[in-house]
Structure 1
Amino acid sequence: MPSELKKLERRKKAQKHLDEISGREEHVLVVHYSCESFYDRPEGQTPRVTSIAARNYASGQTASFSIHKIAELKGVPFADIDSEYDKLEKDMLKEFYEFMDKHKSYDWVHWNMRDINYGFPALEHRCRVLKGKPVELDESRKFDLSRALVSIFGNKYIGHPRLVQLMEANHITARDLLDGPGEAAAFENKEFVKLHQSTLRKVDVLANILGRVIDGSIKTNATWRDKHGIHPKIILEFIAKHWALSLLASVVGIGSGIYSVFF
């Protein structure tokens, strides 16, 4: 069973980072991207990226990068996107990383963008595969809102899929938003504009959720004890961890026993 002290430490760390973010809203970006399915890939290739969006939390201004926009700028007909995909994706990622390089000191809030399947590492890998040069963002500048919510409210704070359930609990509209399978289907059908709209909608939703977490209005299934990180086991774990208190507790226990025998 997980240590309650460890969970309390994670909660404090997540809350501290959240407090820092709320104090510098102008320097916070909410980021999300869409790609082809990262399941059913027997040869192990990383999925192609179709669009990326980065929204300034304070102003709401959103920088977006997409295959269809690059194709339009390059004069590539829609019917030829498939044959030019590598070049278009490389140019899109180049544009995105130029933006990131200018905003490396910002906090980048994301939802589960953690690994080579889906996340910052996946974007970096795609860029390298296409012979581009990604910008590596310092880990301290990344804030995984999904993990932070688990740390702050406990892993039962909402049902699965968490983002969808959280939207429903807080009456956030799902207009234009596609789930994972929906994005994969849109990619197969070459619905790049639809994918881009979904990406833009997701950064809007994540910014909405972030704002509610910061101002304390977010609705979850978490109990009062979950929200405040209070559990009786914390006291026992704290005493066990600090031998002096443990010894004192033992002495008090022995003393109480002697008193009960003789008095």
Structure 2
Amino acid sequence: MPSELKKLERRRKAQKHLDEISGREEHVLVVHYSCESFYDRPEGQTPRVTSIAARNYSSGQTASFSIHKIAELKGVAFADIDSEYDKLEKEMLKEFFEFMEKHKSYDWVHWNMRDINYGFPALEHRYRVLKGKPVELDESRKFDLSRALVAIFGNGYIGHPRLIKLMEKNHITALDLLDGPGEAAAFENKEFVKLHQSTLRKVDVLANILGRVIDDSIDTNATWRDKHGIHPKIILEYIAKHWVLTLLASIIGIGSGIYSIFF
């Protein structure tokens, strides 16, 4: 179990990154993507990607990349998307990584996009599978809003699923937004437009939440103590960690007391 000092350190780090983001809003992108289900995959293939959206936090302008848009541009009929999926997906990912190359210096705010199941590594791997060469974004440019909220407000700041519960708590409408199972079902039903609309809605929601966190108007279940990272154990842990300084301070305090009595 993490110590209270470690939690405080994580909170300060997350808050510092948020402060940096708020100071360069024009160079912040909020990103999200949809794909087929990454569960129930006994052969371990990486889920196929359906759509990606990257929204500029300051302007609200959104760059989007989707299977059905690529199919339209390539003259592929909707009924033929499934048989041409790999080619269309490769072209979509090519466009996305070209966009990333142009915005490598930006901060990329995301929600749990951190592993091979779902995240930047999954997008990179999927493009490699399709014989493409992905751009690898530096870790310092990635900001996981989901983890940051836990670091700032604590594990119990909201119920699960956290994004949906946070939306409900803050009265953010869920128009067009699909949850994980909903996205998986939409993929199976080849509802690519619905998936794309959900992806666009999610970057809008994430940008909304980011703004509320930055201006300290986000509503959560966190207590005042959770929000400010104050816990009695911190004092005890600090004393244990810095016992030499504590002992020295005690000696100085005792010495000062004796001096005041006799002199």
**Larger deviation: 241-250 or 2-11?**
241-250
Shift of 1:243: 2.8
Task: Say which SS state the counterpart of residue 112 (structure 2) adopts.
Answer: coil
Q: Deviations over 1:194-250 (max 9, x none)?
A: 000000000000000000000110000001110000011111111111132343477
d(CA) in 2 for partners of 1:5 and 1:188? 46
Task: Pick closer, same or farther for the CA change 1:157–1:259 going to 2, 3 Å.
Answer: farther
Moved over 3 A (4+): 248-263
d(CA) in 2 for partners of 1:196 and 1:169? 25
Gaps of 5+ in 1: none
d(CA) in 2 for partners of 1:189 and 1:158? 32
Other-structure match for 2:220? 220
Q: Deviations over 1:67-124 (max 9, x none)?
A: 0000000000011101100000000000000000000000000000000000000000
Other-structure match for 1:253? 253
d(CA) in 1 for partners of 2:198 and 2:39? 19
Mapping for residues 186-197 of structure 1, pairs under 5 Å: 186-197=186-197
Q: Deviations over 1:167-210 (max 9, x none)?
A: 00000000000000000000000000000000000000000000
Shift of 1:256: 14
Q: Deviations over 1:144-183 (max 9, x none)?
A: 0000000000010000000000000000000000000000
d(CA) in 1 for partners of 2:28 and 2:60? 10
Task: Pick closer, same or farther for the CA change 1:39–1:256 going to 2, 3 Å.
Answer: farther
**Larger deviation: 92-101 or 231-240?**
231-240
Other-structure match for 2:59? 59
d(CA) in 1 for partners of 2:254 and 2:46? 63
d(CA) in 1 for partners of 2:220 and 2:50? 32
Other-structure match for 1:166? 166
d(CA) in 2 for partners of 1:234 and 1:242? 12
TM-score by length of structure 1 reads 0.95
Task: Say which SS state the counterpart of residue 105 (structure 1) adopts.
Answer: coil
Task: Say which SS state the counterpart of residue 258 (structure 1) adopts.
Answer: helix
**Larger deviation: 247-256 or 70-79?**
247-256
Task: Say which SS state the counterpart of residue 127 (structure 1) adopts.
Answer: helix
Shift of 1:259: 15
Task: Pick closer, same or farther for the CA change 1:246–1:57 going to 2, 3 Å.
Answer: same
Task: Say which SS state the counterpart of residue 135 (structure 1) adopts.
Answer: coil
Shift of 1:60: 0.3
How many residues are treated as equivalent by the alignment? 263
CA RMSD of aligned residues (A): 2.7
**Larger deviation: 204-213 or 252-261?**
252-261
d(CA) in 1 for partners of 2:135 and 2:123? 10
**Larger deviation: 251-260 or 241-250?**
251-260
Task: Pick closer, same or farther for the CA change 1:165–1:256 going to 2, 3 Å.
Answer: farther
d(CA) in 1 for partners of 2:2 and 2:251? 29
Shift of 1:261: 18
d(CA) in 2 for partners of 1:16 and 1:40? 39
Between the aligned residues of both structures, percent identity stands at: 92
**Larger deviation: 3-12 or 249-258?**
249-258
Task: Say which SS state the counterpart of residue 29 (structure 2) adopts.
Answer: strand
Q: Deviations over 1:44-84 (max 9, x none)?
A: 00100000000000000000000000000000001110110
Mapping for residues 2-13 of structure 1, pairs under 5 Å: 2-13=2-13
